[in-house]
Amino acid sequence: MQQIIRRFDSYLEDKFPKHGQKWEGYTHLYFSVCSRSHWYAVEVDIVKSTMFIYDPDRSCFKDDQIRSDLKLMTMILPMLLKKINIVIDALAIEWITITSKQSNS
Protein backbone atom coordinates (compact mmCIF):
# COMPACT_ATOMS: atom_id res chain seq x y z
CA MET A 1 0.00 0.00 0.00
CA GLN A 2 2.86 2.40 0.80
CA GLN A 3 4.31 1.89 -2.69
CA ILE A 4 0.94 2.77 -4.24
CA ILE A 5 0.80 5.98 -2.20
CA ARG A 6 4.36 6.96 -3.15
CA ARG A 7 3.71 6.40 -6.86
CA PHE A 8 0.36 8.23 -6.76
CA ASP A 9 2.02 11.10 -4.90
CA SER A 10 4.59 11.48 -7.68
CA TYR A 11 1.80 11.56 -10.29
CA LEU A 12 0.14 14.36 -8.37
CA GLU A 13 3.38 16.33 -8.18
CA ASP A 14 3.84 16.04 -11.98
CA LYS A 15 7.06 14.03 -11.55
CA PHE A 16 5.77 10.99 -13.41
CA PRO A 17 4.97 10.45 -16.23
CA LYS A 18 7.01 13.12 -17.98
CA HIS A 19 4.43 13.67 -20.74
CA GLY A 20 1.30 13.33 -18.61
CA GLN A 21 -1.64 15.70 -18.60
CA LYS A 22 -2.84 18.07 -15.90
CA TRP A 23 -5.52 16.81 -13.50
CA GLU A 24 -7.98 19.68 -13.93
CA GLY A 25 -11.34 18.73 -15.39
CA TYR A 26 -11.05 14.98 -14.90
CA THR A 27 -13.97 13.14 -13.34
CA HIS A 28 -12.58 9.59 -13.16
CA LEU A 29 -9.43 7.91 -11.93
CA TYR A 30 -8.52 4.36 -12.99
CA PHE A 31 -5.84 2.08 -11.58
CA SER A 32 -5.09 -1.56 -10.90
CA VAL A 33 -4.25 -3.00 -7.51
CA CYS A 34 -2.40 -6.13 -6.46
CA SER A 35 -3.29 -7.15 -2.93
CA ARG A 36 -2.31 -10.53 -1.49
CA SER A 37 -1.19 -11.69 -4.97
CA HIS A 38 -4.60 -10.86 -6.40
CA TRP A 39 -5.16 -8.23 -9.12
CA TYR A 40 -8.31 -6.18 -9.55
CA ALA A 41 -9.25 -2.89 -11.21
CA VAL A 42 -10.50 0.24 -9.48
CA GLU A 43 -12.48 3.12 -10.97
CA VAL A 44 -12.93 6.23 -8.84
CA ASP A 45 -15.83 8.41 -9.93
CA ILE A 46 -14.88 11.78 -8.44
CA VAL A 47 -18.31 13.30 -9.12
CA LYS A 48 -20.20 10.44 -7.41
CA SER A 49 -17.54 10.01 -4.68
CA THR A 50 -17.61 6.29 -5.37
CA MET A 51 -14.88 3.70 -5.82
CA PHE A 52 -15.99 0.88 -8.16
CA ILE A 53 -14.21 -2.47 -7.79
CA TYR A 54 -13.91 -4.77 -10.82
CA ASP A 55 -12.77 -8.30 -9.98
CA PRO A 56 -13.41 -10.94 -12.67
CA ASP A 57 -12.34 -13.73 -10.30
CA ARG A 58 -14.57 -12.27 -7.55
CA SER A 59 -12.28 -13.53 -4.79
CA CYS A 60 -11.70 -10.05 -3.34
CA PHE A 61 -15.41 -9.86 -2.52
CA LYS A 62 -14.82 -12.53 0.13
CA ASP A 63 -11.28 -11.73 1.31
CA ASP A 64 -11.36 -9.75 4.55
CA GLN A 65 -7.78 -8.43 4.12
CA ILE A 66 -8.53 -7.09 0.64
CA ARG A 67 -11.76 -5.51 1.92
CA SER A 68 -9.71 -3.90 4.70
CA ASP A 69 -7.18 -2.58 2.13
CA LEU A 70 -10.04 -1.08 0.10
CA LYS A 71 -11.49 0.60 3.18
CA LEU A 72 -8.06 2.12 3.79
CA MET A 73 -7.99 3.39 0.19
CA THR A 74 -11.33 5.16 0.74
CA MET A 75 -9.59 7.24 3.40
CA ILE A 76 -6.21 7.75 1.70
CA LEU A 77 -7.40 8.69 -1.80
CA PRO A 78 -9.39 11.76 -0.67
CA MET A 79 -6.31 13.00 1.22
CA LEU A 80 -4.11 12.56 -1.86
CA LEU A 81 -6.65 14.17 -4.19
CA LYS A 82 -6.94 17.13 -1.84
CA LYS A 83 -3.31 17.95 -2.73
CA ILE A 84 -4.47 18.84 -6.23
CA ASN A 85 -7.61 20.66 -5.06
CA ILE A 86 -10.04 17.79 -5.71
CA VAL A 87 -12.18 17.57 -2.60
CA ILE A 88 -14.02 14.34 -1.80
CA ASP A 89 -15.40 14.00 1.72
CA ALA A 90 -15.72 10.21 1.68
CA LEU A 91 -15.57 7.46 -0.90
CA ALA A 92 -18.20 4.75 -1.04
CA ILE A 93 -17.24 1.28 -2.30
CA GLU A 94 -19.37 -0.41 -4.94
CA TRP A 95 -18.61 -3.96 -6.09
CA ILE A 96 -19.22 -4.47 -9.82
CA THR A 97 -20.47 -7.98 -10.43
CA ILE A 98 -21.54 -7.67 -14.08
CA THR A 99 -18.03 -8.39 -15.41
CA SER A 100 -17.31 -11.77 -16.95
CA LYS A 101 -16.26 -14.27 -14.29
CA GLN A 102 -12.68 -15.49 -14.58
CA SER A 103 -12.64 -19.28 -14.48
CA ASN A 104 -8.89 -19.94 -14.16
CA SER A 105 -6.63 -18.91 -11.32
Across 15-44, b (16+ Cβ under 10 Å) vs e yields eeeeeeeebeeeeebeeebebeeeebebeb
pLDDT of residue 15: 55
Rounded Cα distance between 60 and 78, Å, is 22
Dihedral, CA atoms, 10, 79, 23, 20, nearest 10 degrees? Answer: 20
pLDDT of residue 11: 60
**What SS3 state is found at 92?**
strand
Per-residue pLDDT of the chain (105 residues; tens, 9 = 90+): 555 555 666 666 655 455 566 677 788 989 888 877 778 889 999 999 999 998 877 666 677 877 888 888 898 889 888 877 888 888 999 988 776 666 665
Q: Where are the domains of the chain?
A: 25-96
